[in-house]
Amino acid sequence: MDQDFIPTQPEFISKDWLAVIINQYRSVKGLTPLRCDGDILEVESISHPMSRGKLSSCHLVHVTAADNTDYRLFFKMVAVTAEGRSMAAETRVMEREVEALLHLAPMLRRLTLDKQIVLPLPEVVYGSYSNSGDGVLVCLDLLSNGYTRLPSSAGLPIIHLISAVESMARFHAVASVAISSDPAAFKNDFSSFQVNYFDSDVVYKHVNPLFKEFSSFIRRVPGFYDQFTKFEAVRGSAWGLVSRAAKRQPKPPLLTVTHGNLIAENLLYKDRSMVAVDWKCCGLGSSMKDIAMLLTSSSSSSTREVHTRQLLESYYFIYCQTLAKLGVNVKIEYPEFTIEALVEEYQRCLFGAFLQTVCLFTEQLRDLESQFISGGDTEKAGMDLREVGRRAVDLMDEVSLKLGSPLWTEVVSEVEESSSLTIKIPHQQNKGQVRG
């Protein structure tokens, strides 16, 4: 069986192919390889209970080997729908995720050897992608290891936000050092990270109606006509604003690899430990883009009002501490990198995060309404619908007040001046990746 084979559906996952990738993983771990595919006694596959993406299909695969070793694996493959496959190919999502977890992650782990820096990344067994947009990613299943996704309709608890912020500070700092060592080589090695997910006609056709739907939602809220008119003023150029905001690259040390969609649904927790999953939107940009997205999408308005400054201070402390462990003297190499500079960068990233969150909330409200109407656990769906709706209204209220501030006026103007609604990406030939 060719190890470069990419299964596009779970029924194509054969024992001989599993033996190839498991042996590759066992070799990395210094374990004796399986002798043949006959050493794989049983394979069970089920749809992943948390899978809901349009661009991919996810499955849990339980492999039992002859030496009494069990492998509980998470499989991600490109979606089977025509729309999903088209979006995946145009935005190169499988290429980016495979590159992030099978190429970048080992590089970052080598930088952190013996430095007690824990990175919030899943452990990968195998990955590959093709120039047609197909791809497969195989990781050790975190659910089987005690990790879980927290209920988030009301926003994440502060203790888990702290864990996420501090974990991402470590990741961002290590990635920043990796980039700064040779920026040109890094960008060349990870060319897919420079592809903007939003610079795509197919994404535009998916996202633009969400802004219109959100506008209609706000219009129906009693007493929110002023907020509605403010959102309408930017709705026509919202997609271009999101696209441009996603491209923004600050000066080091805040120039790093971003997750790109750091929301509660993409965070798995085990006690205070956090792992970020679903890296398909990763790219080069401001670390504050991730933190702004996290707090905007996954915390309540009251949490942001009371704790944002403390969370940013905690992030800054861990970021500087991590840089110091890697031999970077922040005061000497980056004298302008202060907590106030970090806070201002966070403020500059909020507008793009708000527009991305609008899309997220609109899709969540749509899904919850469908669940409520279709039956099932209507009480839970109704409660979640109210919580998400309340957070969407609160967020719009926050933003309507900030839109008139000097900083936000400057940020929106900068983004509007450099935005385009006719951005095209040349589809490049992707290179297959197979690593263990």
pLDDT score for 206:
87
Decide if 13 contacts 7 (C-beta within 8 A).
Answer: yes
Tokens 């940013």 belong to which residue?
A: 312
> Which has more pLDDT, 345 or 87?
345
DSSP class of residue 37? G
Is the entire prediction scored with pTM above 0.95?
no
Strand segments, DSSP code E, in 149-241 are none
Backbone angles phi, psi at 197, to 5 degrees: -55, -35
pLDDT score for 433:
47
When mean pLDDT is compared across 49-63, 125-139, 318-332, 342-356, the lowest value belongs to 49-63
Instruction: State how far the Cα of 255 lies from the Cα of 167, in Å rounded to an integer.
Output: 17
Dihedral of alpha carbons 241, 267, 53, 228, sign: negative
When mean pLDDT is compared across 29-33, 117-121, 126-130, 414-418, the lowest value belongs to 414-418
DSSP per position, 335-404: TT--HHHHHHHHHHHHHHHHHHHHHHHHHHHHHHHHHHHH-SSHHHHHHHHHHHHHHHHHHHHHHHHHTT
Nearest to 139 by CA among 57, 49, 25: 25
pLDDT at 37 over 50: yes
pLDDT at 185 over 80: yes
Nearest to 269 by CA among 412, 346, 160, 178: 160
Share of the chain above pLDDT 70, in %: 93
Nearest to 254 by CA among 201, 316, 192: 316
Mean pLDDT over 162-181 rounds to 97
Strand segments, DSSP code E, in 54-182 are 56-65, 70-78, 124-129, 135-140
Instruction: State how far the Cα of 237 lies from the Cα of 54, in Å rounded to an integer.
Output: 24
Nearest to 43 by CA among 20, 24, 16: 16
pLDDT score for 419:
52
Q: What is the pLDDT of residues 210-257, one digit of tens each?
A: 999 999 999 999 999 999 999 999 898 888 888 888 888 899 999 999
Instruction: State how far the Cα of 117 lies from the Cα of 185, in Å rounded to an integer.
Output: 24
Backbone angles phi, psi at 150, to 5 degrees: -80, 150
Report the chain's C-alpha Rg in angstroms: 22
pLDDT score for 415:
65
pLDDT score for 253:
96
Instruction: State how far the Cα of 313 lies from the Cα of 51, in Å rounded to an integer.
Output: 34
Residues 6 or more apart whose CB falls under 8 angstroms from that of 317 comprise: none
- Which of 76-90, 349-363, 393-407, 414-428 shows the highest mean pLDDT? 349-363
pLDDT at 171 over 70: yes
Please, is 253 exposed, middle or buried when counting C-beta atoms within 10 Å of its C-beta (0-12, 13-18, 19+)?
buried
The H or E element that residue 21 is part of is: helix 15-28
pLDDT score for 418:
60
> Which has more pLDDT, 89 or 178?
178
